[in-house]
Every structure is written in C-alpha cells, then in structure tokens.
Structure 1
C-alpha cells in the first residue's frame, strides 16, 4: 500500500494513503490502551474514550456529535489493549472539519463530573451485558492467566468496582501520562495530495504542546 508520512515538530505523525473515492476516512490513534492502566484502574482507557465525546472547552456533547453528523459523516471510536482510535468517514470537502474536531476532543476535553457519572452508568450496563456471555468470560479468564499480574490481562471494559470508583483525577492523570504527542498519529485516506494533508494537519496539530495535553 502506498502511503506517506510527515512528523510535526511536536512528534505527531501525519499519514496519508491516496484514494480516488469521493468518501474519505481519517483516524487519530493514541498509542495507549488497557495495557497502560494503573493497578486497580481497569477500564480507565475505555472510560476516557467515552468521555472525550462529552464536552470540550468550546463544544457541548450535542455540538461534538453534530459537527460531523450534520454533513452526513460518521464518527466513532474504540479502545483496545494496545491503542485508542477515534475515526470518521466523510465526504472529501470535510477533512478540515474532521481534523478540527479530532484536535478538540483529544486535547481540549473537560471531563465534567456529571458526564462522568452518566458514562459510568453506560459502561456498567455494558459490563452487565458482557458478563451474560459465557464465551467472553472464558476469554477473560484465559487472558487473566496468560498475562497474570500485568494490565494486559485487564478486561478493556474494566470491572464494576473499578469503573464505579474512577475519579476525575484518575482521568486527568492517565491522559497526561499517555496522550503524548510522540505517541499520536493522524491518518487520512482520501483523494488529496500529500502536501494538502500535511498543510491541513499542520494547521490543526502543530500548535499542540509537545507531550503535554492542554
């Protein structure tokens, strides 16, 4: 696969894969997941992935969601043991809008307490549903044995106890420790020149302070 990479001075990497399609795809990947969770904080990486959609310094939850949905785009995210990914699919003219939103939710989320309480309830429901699936429980037991004593053995959702006890300080500390610019890549697949992707990526991410989420 043909692709190009440019690294900004703050360490954020910009990747471009050319495509002739009228639909583009972009993602921002942070090299952190459940493997990096402190002891007793299982599920914290996934919890933060939920929270970044809830409020930023300049946008409400509805404004975050409507920013791309209003132009027919799709925005979503997921967490793995190794990394966290926020991704979007959109018509080609909306790359600027997408990268602007990525910057906002990753580097300017405010994590209000009331939104934390709501997301705890959402994730606790996810855990309850998950526990009703025996095949998933078997997989969890296997990973717990395989990675005994290591956070890689954590269930990505966390446990009822760990999720219930998350604090805003936990969230802030994890983000500061792991959402570092040299661990972040922004990838774009679309009908753009590489120079155009670099220009737009520089516009939206060059001002991010090196290795220090604002």
Structure 2
C-alpha cells in the first residue's frame, strides 16, 4: 500500500543558502513504491520511484517541449532535435553514445510527442551511473554540427516516408489535421518534407537552447534506485556541463488553458491505392485535466477498448467487416479528441461507418448498460495495473505526471478514481461527447461515388 505524504527537507550550503529541496511524495511499505522529488536551485526536478525487488532501472529525461511549441516554419524541429542529441557531444561521438549502453546490455531510445519529449535508457541497477552520465551528457552537451544535421535529414525524410507508407498510422495525423486544422496541435510531429528540408543547424541550435534549459527538464528514474545517489550523480553531470549556473530559477509550470473545439461535419480524405480503407470517425473529447476524464476512460473502454466492447462485437464479431476496430482518446492541456478507428475493405467502408455512427448515436441517446459499465471499470482497473508492471512504464508515469499535472498519483489513488465512476457519470459524458456531430478522416482507394457519400456519414 502506498500512502501520500509531503514531507520536505531542504539542504543548505555552509553559508546557509538553500541549494536543494526534497519531498517524499508517496510513501510505500518497506520503501517499495516510494516516490521522491528533489528540485535543484537551477530549476531541475529529479523524481524517482524505488522498487528494491527488481534488478533494473529505467532512467529518463523529459523536456517540456513538443511539436505544439513549433511555429509553422519550425514544424518538425522538436523531433529533428531528438535525433540530433544522439549524434555526439564534446565527450562522446555518436558511436560512443550507443556503444556505452550496448556494452552493458542496456536499451536506449527517445520519443517526441505533441507536448513533451523523452530520452531514456534501461539498464541493470549497477549500471545506472553510466546511464545517467550518458543521457545527461546528451541533453546538456549536444554539438548539433551542421554535417550531422544534413546527414540526419535523410533519416528523418525516410521516417516521414515510412509513416506515409503506413496508412493505419498516417490516418491519425490526418484526423488530427481534420479536427484541429493548421494549428500546432493539428500539424504532424515529424513535420513535412518541405519543413524538414528547410531546417538549418542554426535554427535547430536556437530551438535547443530555448527549450532545453533545466527549468524545462524533469529527470526520472524507476527501479532499484537510491534517490540521494541519483540526485548526486545527476547534479554532478549537469554542473560539469555548466547547466546549473542559475541559482534563482524555478521549474516551468504545467501547461494550462481551456480551448473548446468547435469542429463538426469535417471530412478529410486521402485517396490512395491501399488494400484497405482506414477510417477514423470522431469528435472533440476532453482535456487531460478534466475531472470527468475517469468517466471518459470507462466510456472509451466499453465502446472500443477490448474484445467485449460494443464496436468490436458489432463490427468484427457479428459481421466480420474489419480485423482492427477500436476507440481511443487523446487529451492535451487545453482540449482533447475522441476517435473510432477501423480498417476494412474499400467496398465495405460505408457499412463500417454506418455501424460505428449508429453505435455512437445509440450510446449518446440511451447510454451503456450497468453491466457494460461495471465490466469496463474492471477492465480499466486491471489494465492500469498491468500496464505499470515494468520500470519503463513507471518512469513514463513519473515524467508525464510531473510535466503535465505537477504532482504524482499513486496506483491505489488511480484505481480508487476509476472504481468511483458511476453509471450516471458515464452516461452524462456519453451525451456530452458522443452527442456532438462527428468529423471523419479516410485513407483508401475510394471511388468517386463512395467519396461523395462521406458527407452523409457526418451529417
């Protein structure tokens, strides 16, 4: 059992000046699951979760920057920079970086999202000092040489091409653009061929210096870790790089705001020669801070979150019209999306869309049954716990919670919130979200008469 506590200790220098502040955010039995946060005077936050029964650690550094922080001409810069931080520092070449982690059997990677970026390494607990040194060096000492920028440009263009060749992936970018338009959230994380070709080393360096200040970074580690040792090692690495020179800096606050999406009846179509038609039917959802997000999670699970869900049963099990069909939610700081995805033969696209639209309308009008809701609550509780059974998932939860909410929630608290959802709350959310007029995105080889009928789906 994990309990919540906010015990705070402040370390001071010999002159009496506070230099670090440590808080025990969650206290676990016998130390397991204990979450601590230390904030250094340069504004750098270090959050750890201790699991003494495992032999691995996942160490990560999160940057409070994503593709939504880009101007139109900089679209793709955040992802480009993610690649470039692996290309070398004053102390290590690109080969040195990868070889150091490979030599101890570790794994290292990174990812860019619309509101944050993460760099991480998973290693044996005894090799954690190496992982800290390598990842911190990458984040604080990247050279971003012009030749590396030019060489990596080809790699990123291939990644864009790979995404374009995967319509099941590409349709999600199309749906975001259909719903959010030419806005930072509506543009693709990878950027476009034109914007990536236009990025220069100097522009990327300026972006790096602006967004990778310690006040924008959160360091996380989950596994068999000693919090005090992690703090000392991280602090040493940042100080050696001269990244903690400011002593009066404070961490940036989580993103905030409220923006109501007013999209309805929009249709995005990419006519391509694919074997399947890939469709997403959806509407505005909820911001990630919305108090109703727990009920939204239950609704999403019951609608398209598993083999017993409404959509899976109606589209796949009863009619055999699709292999993959599911629903999902995306929550951002100020808005959100809800979507239903399906991949089917092109000549059956309208049958699939009609079933999906009918089910959404049915649930919006009449709600889900109590049995469906209780089953979804149980499924969501179980998947929440099972999804946090490794150090990588725990590290991800620590970083995202710190950046997006500014606080840590225990697994028990999350399970309590899910269990407390009532059928009436789920039905109210269904009316509010599913009762909106949907929009639609489609990729596939639709004939002219099929394409002409798409407007009827969202009417």
Normalised-by-shorter TM-score class = over 0.9
Q: d(CA) in 2 for partners of 1:117 and 1:198?
A: 36
CA distance in 1, matches of 2:152, 2:236: 32
1:65 and 2:98 matched = yes
Report if aligned partners of 1:12, 1:205 keep a CA contact under 8 Å in 2: no
Cα distance, 1:181 vs structure 2: 1.0
**Partner of 2:234 in structure 1?**
201
Q: Distance in 1 between matches of 2:147 and 2:234?
A: 33
* 2:58 maps to 1:25: yes
Does residue 113 of the first structure (1) align with residue 156 of the second (2)?
no
Query: So what's the TM-score if we normalise by structure 1?
Result: 0.92
Q: What RMSD, in angstroms, separates the aligned Cα atoms of the two structures? A: 1.6
Residue 133 (structure 2) aligns with: 100
> Paired residue for 1:5?
37
d(CA) in 2 for partners of 1:78 and 1:157? 11
Unaligned regions of 5+ residues in structure 2, if any? 1-32, 250-459
Unaligned runs of 5+ in 1: none
Kindly tell me the number of residue pairs found equivalent between the two proteins.
211
Match of 1:176 among 209, 213, 227: 209
Residue pairs, 1:114-193, within 5 angstroms: 114-193=147-226
Q: Deviations over 1:74-131 (max 9, x none)?
A: 1111111111101111011112111111221111111112211221111111111211
Contact 1:33–1:81 (CA under 8 A) maintained in structure 2: yes
Does residue 1:54 correspond to 2:82, yes or no?
no
Is the CA contact (8 Å cut-off) linking 2:57 and 2:225 kept in structure 1? no
TM-score calculated relative to the size of structure 2: 0.44
Give the secondary structure class of the aligned counterpart of 1:151.
coil
Q: Is the 8 A contact 2:89 2:142 kept in 1?
A: yes
Confirm or deny: 8 A CA contact 1:43 1:154 kept in the other structure.
no
Cα distance in 1 between the residues matched to 2:119 and 2:192: 23
Moved more, 110-119 or 81-90: 110-119
Partners of 1:150 and 1:176 in 2: CA distance = 24
Q: Which moved more, 1:6-15 or 1:191-200?
A: 191-200
Match of 2:320 in 1: none
Deviation for aligned residue 1:192: 2.5
State the SS of the aligned residue for 1:155.
coil
Residue pair 1:43, 1:162 contacting (<8 A) in 2 also? yes
Distance 1:194 1:64 in 2: 25
